[in-house]
Structure 1
Amino acid sequence: MAPEPQILGRAVKQAQYRQHRALDSRLAGIGTTLAQWDALRAISRTPGATARSLAAATFQSEQAFGTLAGRLTAQGLIDRRPGHGRRIEHHLTPAGEETLRAGHRVADEVLAECFAPLSEDERTTLLGLLNRLTEEERADG
């Protein structure tokens, strides 16, 4: 018998919550948070991006991302520069690049621990299933 959708949804949420707690805890050791590291990662992928596109990439509202970008600017991790028209572009500073690299090392360790109970084949299957669930969203994005 297949699991009820609410039970399945809760299990996905529990796994995500566990990862986020572990990431946030370990990223604090390098002086950042999961939200900040995720923002640095998004800016690194698309240097010069607007707050609107970065908010979407980090699953935040524009207002929340703007507040976060203000903190990152104050910490010297990003620059916000005028672009075309009223556009404000976001770029990493050297300190932001270093924080991003340190965050990648932490994330690699934490996520390896989180997925350790699964075999390589199970991880491959899980990724394939999750990709199927988000296919439409990726096609629209």
Structure 2
Amino acid sequence: MGKQGQTELNRYQLDKAIKKYHDNMCKYMRMKDELDSLTVGASTAAYGIEATMPKAVGGNSDPVHAHVQIRASREVRINKIKNELIVVQNLIDKVYGDIEQEVLYWLLEGLPFRWIGAKLNMSHTSVQRIRERILDMMLFHMNPK
């Protein structure tokens, strides 16, 4: 762990996190909304003669317990996505320069190099070079030597 609880990432992992940022943000918001809107639809244990019958071996037959386990595993996935988003968000303010900030904004929106280049009147290879500078700035602030 680095400063401010940041996870140490290498260049490839940081580049991948930036590329997946938009998709992860959409996925995080969707999953969070779904989890918040879920209601416990599981029924309670049976009463009467059904309660005294033998239960299946090997698993928990309590539907509420199963629902809680599903919910907990979903929360683990949500927190993993959240942590990846936070790492990128903590490094955004470390990027300086108008063109670098503009390219980073469009990259975080999930747009391709050619679209960004056309929007900013430059070639897609120039956008790739600027992305490399952005990664250098972010990595420098993540791993100052």
Question: TM over 0.5, yes or no?
Answer: no
TM-score by length of 1: 0.27
Q: Which has the higher contact order (CA 8 A, sep 6+)?
A: 2
Q: Which has the higher strand share?
A: 1
TM-score by length of 2: 0.27
